[in-house]
Structure 1
Amino acid sequence: MDFKACYNNYINTVNTALIVNMPPRDAYPSRIHEAMHYSLFAGGKRLRPVLCLASFELFDSMTAKVLPVACALELIHTYSLIHDDLPCMDDDDFRRGMPTCHKKFGEAIAVLAGDALLTEAFAMASSIGNTGYSATIISMLAAASGSTGLIGGQVMDLLSEDKPIDVELLEYIHRHKTGKLISVSVESGAVCAGADSTALSALTKYGEALGLAFQISDDILDVIGDAEKLGKNVGQDAKLNKATYPSLYGLEESKKKLHETVEQALISLQGFGKKSGFLCELARYVAYRDR
């Protein structure tokens, strides 16, 4: 299996579907749609929709069935980045090597662009053919992105700035702010394919471990990463005095914990045999990436 080629094929599939399903860039009022397109098509790994598609394909080859959900996941992720970059949050000027949405369009339009992407995500998710799955998926996405999911993690991240926190709270922040959306990306693909409870349980464990690994890797990259490769400033966590794995454990222990978490993800996939080859490689890629 050529991992890079497979990944790029998934990305191309997702990008094509996003172009088809998004309101046109010049649709009235064009200013908001320009901002939505600017952030959505600014590059990025498309990790969440790729996870959804790869999970679905463990059970079903008809990828078109799940594309609306894959697209919805990317819209939710993009909305969260727009809001995360705002001056009242992480106050970032660059994202993926480009000015952040609020730097390009102003804070008010950036807030509204994020709101619009989140709303559009649920419209897309509702368009999958099987109405029974549609209701389930919408509920899953709402839980993962709401106050007990992504938003909850972001709230605790903000409230923890300049304060000493323990390991339990740090893990809560990581598993919710980043991990919940990654985990639901894996789970939603399996649900749309009709996976049984045993398979779904294994994939949930994979998604949870992968989500934590992604954030530990992000923490490490914020310390030792290359700003040019990352497309954003490094050292932001230290600047905002945020608790991270390196600040709590040190760099070497954080790398060890990253390795252990990736191994947990890989163990969760053992029951799928060779079919899970891409998801195994994806876990390694997420953990040991340089951007």
Structure 2
Amino acid sequence: MDGFLAASRKRVDSSLDAVLPAATQHPADLHRAMRHAVFPGGKRLRPALTLGAAVAAGVDPEEAMPVASAVELVHACSLALDDLPSQDDNAVRRGQPAVHVAFDPATAVLAASALLAEAFAQCTRLSDPSASVAVGACLTRTIGPQGVIGGQIDDLAFTPAETSLEHIEFIHLRKTAALFRFSVWGGGVAGGLVGEQLGRLDPFGRAYGLAFQVVDDMLDEDLGECSILHVLSRKQARGRIHQLLDEAVRQIEPFGPDGWVLAGLVRRLYGLLP
């Protein structure tokens, strides 16, 4: 599993380096800001799910590389916007100054917009044109008012004293889990999956994405604004994680040995439990 993740991270980084304009290309400040948002990357977990879905489909993961690149471009875009002073007001991201600190807020917004535009461009580069249309349409829903953007709006308006498990998970389903769902489903489409097998990837991504956020809440030393620990004890949260990951495993059982990457990512998430 470690070998696959290291190899996929290297392949995704190479793809992103190729699709992003050179830092010296005009307008240089914009292109430097775009690259600052993308590199150095984190674990590239979302693209790994995309490539893992392609493996589950029985094809070369390279078939899904445009989707994997699009996923990471959207993720980098969302982080650059979340870090803005008008939103989460984070000065540091991945050990370096946030984009709005390294440049300025206006450049950060424009760089994030350019990353999003390139993400849609990547969706057009699948070998099957009908797959490109399906993936592009799904990405639109993923980032829109019913997805990541809507989740962020509700997160900004979140009030811990007036919440419930259902409300918190409703936010997490859009702000966090939506991109996980797209990652794995898009990888399946790029790999040629249809019917029941493709249909299993969305609930897998939903369960995995929710579990990922709960694990993140438990690992956070500070009780975040939208943390599930506002409504669940640590023991209850741990139980919820097990429930979600068990559901994720059930969804990919029919893939058998071909689902080894997705199953391995579930096991890794189990291993992070405090």
- TM-score bracket relative to the smaller structure: over 0.9
Change (3 A) 1:245 1:275: same
Report how far residue 163 of structure 1 moved.
4.6
Aligned sequence identity (%) = 34
The aligned counterpart of 1:232 is none
Q: How does 1:70-85 map to 2 (within 5 A)?
A: 70-85=68-83
Indicate whether 1:37 and 2:38 are aligned: no
- Conservation of the 8 A alpha-carbon contact between 2:59 and 2:191: no
Q: 1:260 aligns with which of 225, 243, 246?
A: 243
Matches within 5 A, 1:37-116: 37-116=35-114
**Secondary structure in structure 1 of the residue aligned to 2:146:** coil
Q: Which TM-score applies when normalising by structure 1?
A: 0.90
Residues 182-208 of structure 1: CA distance to partner in whole angstroms, max 9, x if unpaired?
Answer: 011100111122212111122111111
2:162 is the counterpart of 1:164? yes
Q: Unaligned 5+ residue runs, structure 1?
A: 224-234
Write out per-residue CA displacement over residues 102-132 of structure 1, whole angstroms, 9 at most, x where no aligned residue. Answer: 1111111111111110111111211222211
AA of the residue aligned to 2:197? A
Q: Give me the whole-angstrom Cα distance separating, in 1, the residues matched to 2:92 and 2:12.
A: 24
| Structure 1 vs Structure 2 CA RMSD | 1.7
- The Cα shift of 1:60 comes to 3.6
* Structure 2 contact 67–123 (Cα < 8 Å) conserved: yes
Q: 1:181 aligns with which of 171, 179, 182?
A: 179
The reply to whether residue 248 of structure 1 matches residue 231 of structure 2 is yes
Shift of residue 221, structure 1, vs aligned partner? 1.5
Which of 15, 18, 21 is 2:19 aligned to?
21
Q: CA deviation at 1:162?
A: 5.3
Number of residue pairs matched?
274
Is 1:86–1:107's contact at 8 Å kept on the other side of the alignment? yes
**Contact 1:209/1:264 (CA < 8 Å) preserved in 2?**
yes
How far did residue 65 of structure 1 move? 2.5
Structure 2 residue runs of 5 or longer lacking an equivalent are none
List structure 1 segments (4+ residues) > 3 angstroms apart after TM superposition.
286-291
**Hey, what does 1:270 align to over in structure 2?**
253
Structure-2-length-normalised TM-score: 0.95
Give the whole-Å Cα distance in 2 for the aligned partners of 1:271 and 1:130.
25
3-state DSSP class of the match of 1:91? coil
Q: Deviations over 1:71-115 (max 9, x none)?
A: 011000100011111111111111112111111111111111111
Could you say if the C-alpha distance between residues 94 and 287 of structure 1 is closer, same or farther in structure 2, counting changes exceeding 3 Å?
farther
Partners of 1:14 and 1:186 lie apart in 2 by 15
Question: What is aligned with 2:121?
Answer: 123
CA shift, 1:290, in A, is 8.1
Rounded to whole Å, the distance in 2 between the matches of 1:213 and 1:245 is 11
| Structure 1 Cα separation of the partners of residues 202 and 258 of structure 2 | 17
Deviations 1:127-181 (A, max 9, x none): 2222111111100111111111111111111111455112211111001100011
> In 2 relative to 1, CA 276–62 (structure 1 residues): closer, same or farther, beyond 3 Å?
closer
Residue type matched to 2:258 in 1? K
Counterpart of 1:252, as a letter, is K
State the Cα distance separating 1:287 from its structure 2 match. 4.7
Does structure 2 retain, via aligned residues, the 8 Å contact 1:165–1:243?
no
Quick one: structure 1 residues 290 and 162, their matched pair in 2 at CA, closer, same or farther if it must change by over 3 Å? closer
2:136 aligned partner: 138
Counterpart of 2:162 in 1: which secondary structure?
coil
**In 2, Cα distance between the equivalents of 1:162 and 1:98?**
30
